[in-house]
A and B are shown apart, each in its own frame.
Chain A
Amino acid sequence: MIESFYSPDDLVALWISLKLATLTVALLLLLCTPLAWWLATTRSRLRVVGEAMAALPLVLPPTVLGFYLLLFLGPYGWGGRLMHHLGLQPLSFSFGGLVIGSMLYSMPFVIQPLQGAFQAVGARALEVAATLRAPPWDRFFTVAVPLARRGFITGSVLAFAHTLGEFGVVLMLGGNIPGRTQTASIVIFNHVEALDYSGAQRLSITLLVACFILLLIVYGANRHRAEVAAVA
């Protein structure tokens, strides 16, 4: 039944989108947690510079961001030459390149909620933990992270949805290659370009419904936990 509703290209593209969004979120959480923690706690003057830079990917039109990444990661750019020195293929037009592009493109959506959540934790809770002789890493993982849970959830959900809907960056950097860099949002665009509107609608509805259900689950679970915490 699935095969009659979607074309094989649709299914492959949905799978690539899902892989891309999951991997992007996982890597962004690893990368942005220390960055956001630093932005939330530092008194350095470099903080404003860091905040400004973390918001920059929002400014450029996605195709332009994709174009610069293409130059950077291509065989003549720094990124591409570095890969060459390491004996590897350039990342442009590969799934790995899409992961890098998506991470850059969705980074503000993870950093900003995390920074806000860490700031809301405040110094007080951590000081109390310190007086109970919790070492710094323990204070971070058992006090700051659980208290900043909402920030982690919001950041993950936003980055996941943003990556699913990403178009300009993946089209420019990935080259729209079926089975490799062709994501669901690009297939929707292809359907529209080929004037196949019913094909476009099938995939669009799929993305919308899937994301809606995902958001419902995440926000629902979050609300439930918040209520439990409030009662306790």
Chain B
Amino acid sequence: MTEPAQRSMRLGARRLAVLCLLALSWLSGPAARAEELNVAVAANFFGTLQKLAPKFEQASGNKLLLSSGSSGQFYTQIRQGAPFDVLLSADSDRPKQLETEGLGIAGSRFTYAIGTLVLWSPKADVVDRDGKVLRGGAYHMIGIADPRNAPYGAAAQQVLTALGLWETLNQDKKLAVGENINQAWQFAATGNVDMAFVALSQVSDGNAISGSSWLPPQALYTPLQQDAVILTRTGKRAVAEAFLKWLRDDPQAIATIKAAGYHVAE
């Protein structure tokens, strides 16, 4: 190649680079220093996090990109190199496992919400305050989430087992098993089952619960701890840490989580 040809190529390349930079800065808008955090969030907390995200974005200037899914699916995907920075799981087992496998940053894990199980019907007067309706047997079907995959399903199984009803209900084919807690809710909300074991966060508006419901004593089931963890492959550890700290400490964040029907760790 001749000298001038090389020079004009170099000039062309530089011009291209400048154009690319201009295009990039135009795409990213005025807040060019804002970082984007990819957050994988369990389906049951997705709605709540959608409410929290704008508040965090306002407070920090950083943006959250939310991906909703099941905790099991996220666990598989993270092991296959999924580009998430933070996982908000529906349980504590998988974040723990990710931590021991070195895929989660050790020490970053904490319980961001504790779920409450509720036996619920959209109609008034179906479920009584003490859950006696379960023993009465005057119902067609009960909806639950799959105990093998969904923490709330496992909790429902523990409650029914403690009441000595698990075997009978299974034998009588009176349990409609949903793939996750949202399906269990849908079974009841659409009237296809008389009542369902769902998450308090699904049926409470912060003050009152719609329809009729029974809150099983917390002693009957393992606490529904939902843990968050920062993933090792993140390139934005500082932002991820700031987000989790905000989620744990900010009064506004805690109020939103509580209003959605969760407890938080004291």
B67 and A177 contacting across the interface, CB-CB below 8 Å: yes
Q: Which residues of B lie under 8 Å from residue A96 when comparing CB positions? A: none
Cβ of B226 within 8 Å of any chain A Cβ, yes or no, is no
Encode contact with A along B45-72: 1 for CB under 8 Å, 0 otherwise: 0110010000000000000011111000
Binds A, one of B73-81, B101-109, B166-174, B208-216: B73-81
Q: Which residues A184-226 have CB closer than 8 A to chain B?
A: 190, 192-196
> Interface residues of A, CB < 8 Å — how many?
24
Given the known interface contacts A190-B46, A194-B68, the answer about A93 and B182 at a Cβ–Cβ threshold of 8 Å is: no
Q: How many angstroms between the C-alpha atoms of A49 and B38 in the bound complex?
A: 43
Cβ of B232 within 8 Å of any chain A Cβ, yes or no, is no
Q: Which of A71, A177, A194 has the most CB of B within 10 A?
A: A194
A90 and B81 contacting across the interface, CB-CB below 8 Å: yes
B67 and A178 contacting across the interface, CB-CB below 8 Å: yes
Taking CB as reference atom, which chain A residue is nearest B182? A193
Indicate which residue in B73, B76, B81, B182 contacts A192 across the interface (CB closer than 8 Å). B182
Q: Which residues of A lie under 8 Å from residue B66 when comparing CB positions? A: 178
Cβ of A112 within 8 Å of any chain B Cβ, yes or no, is no
Q: Closest CB-CB distance, B90 to chain A, in whole Å?
A: 12
Indicate which residue in A76, A171, A192 contacts B69 across the interface (CB closer than 8 Å). A171
Given the known interface contacts A193-B43, A194-B46, A195-B47, the answer about A71 and B67 at a Cβ–Cβ threshold of 8 Å is: no
Sample (19) of A-B pairs whose CB atoms are under 8 Å apart: A67-B76, A70-B77, A74-B81, A75-B80, A92-B80, A92-B81, A171-B73, A172-B76, A175-B40, A175-B69, A175-B82, A176-B69, A177-B38, A177-B65, A177-B83, A178-B67, A190-B46, A193-B47, A195-B202
Question: Interface on A for B, CB 8 Å cutoff?
Answer: 67, 70-71, 74-76, 80, 90, 92-93, 171-172, 175-179, 182, 190, 192-196
Extra 18 A-B pairs, beta carbons < 8 Å, given A93-B77, A172-B76, A194-B47: A71-B80, A74-B81, A75-B80, A93-B81, A93-B83, A171-B73, A175-B40, A175-B67, A175-B84, A176-B67, A176-B69, A177-B67, A178-B66, A178-B67, A179-B65, A190-B68, A193-B47, A193-B68
